[in-house]
Structure 1
């Protein structure tokens, strides 16, 4: 089992479920870019890892030059790898990788509200439904009205946790655009659109509590 999040990301090389999840997430990012109005597209990624979902999409997307993004990740090795990818794509003037706490609202100031918000690999690492509600409520600070929000949620012990997430998204003023399960049937990937109003300041400085550990990531 992986001992840290840097090792965990190496599972993308061998784990079919993660590979399928990444493929769907990239599909949704590409859809969001295609559907965004002409001009600048602002993106934020929460607990971004090494940014392979967004950066892998931009490598071959015609609107890459329109994207201005902030990725926030606590693990310095993942940030270093992500920054190297940004440099290789020639996007270092448009995309910044923050090595910091993704739960802190302060790390998004100046980059929000965004047109696309990526919260993949996050929802399965929250303690309970109350914490999920807290994060979804704070998305109104990160998201423009009409913003696309992409998320993932794994299933375990026969419980389809993604269905709970879909229900709460509806209750928090989001319209579901698409939802897919991986071919393995135990990982849900969703894309919603925010229909509510944007908050100019966060409801609280800590947007959520990340309680997951690599060997139990969901």
Structure 2
């Protein structure tokens, strides 16, 4: 089993569920870029890994020059790999990778409110529904009105955990734009749009608590 998140990311080379999830996430990112108003598009990615979802989408996207993004990731090896990709794409002046705790609100100062918020591989690592609601409530700080929110949630033992995520998002003024399951049926990817008002200050500095370990990624 993977010992750390850098090693876990190597599973993208072999695991169909992760490959299918990544394909859908990139599809949703591309849709969000296309649907964003003319001009600058602000993107934030929470627990960004090596940024392969956003960076892989931008590689050939016609609006990549419109994007300014901040990706936040705690693992320094993943950040280093992501920064190398940014350099290769010629986007170093537009995209910054922060090596820090994605749960801390201060790491997003100057990058929010965003037009697109990516929170993939996170929701399955929250302790309970109270913590899930806490994160979703704090999205009102990260998101401007009309922002797109892209998320993932694994299903285990036949339990569709994504159903609860969708209910809480609906109650928190997020309208569903698209929702797909991977062909393996055990991973959900959602695309929602925020119709509420942006909060200029976070409700709390700790946006959520990430409690997962690589061997139990979901």
The residue aligned with 2:28 is: 28
Q: TM (normalized to structure 2)?
A: 1.00
> CA–CA distance in 2 between the matches of 1:213 and 1:20?
21
> CA–CA distance in 1 between the matches of 2:70 and 2:197?
21
Residue by residue over 1:79-136, the C-alpha shift from the partner in whole angstroms, topping out at 9 and shown as x without a partner, is 0000000000000000000000000000000000000000000100101110000000
> CA–CA distance in 2 between the matches of 1:120 and 1:144?
19
SS of the aligned residue for 2:137 comes to helix
- Computed over aligned residues only, the root mean square deviation of the Cα atoms, in angstroms, reads 0.3
Shift of 1:158: 1.2
Alignment coverage as a number of residue pairs: 218
Q: TM (normalized to structure 1)?
A: 1.00
Shift of 1:157: 1.2
> CA–CA distance in 2 between the matches of 1:35 and 1:158?
34
Gaps of 5+ in 2: none
The residue aligned with 1:150 is: 150
> CA–CA distance in 2 between the matches of 1:198 and 1:158?
36
Equivalent residue runs for 1:4-23 within 5 Å: 4-23=4-23
SS of the aligned residue for 2:176 comes to strand
The residue aligned with 2:94 is: 94
Residue by residue over 1:54-74, the C-alpha shift from the partner in whole angstroms, topping out at 9 and shown as x without a partner, is 000000100000000000000
SS of the aligned residue for 1:185 comes to coil
> CA–CA distance in 1 between the matches of 2:194 and 2:170?
10
The residue aligned with 2:79 is: 79
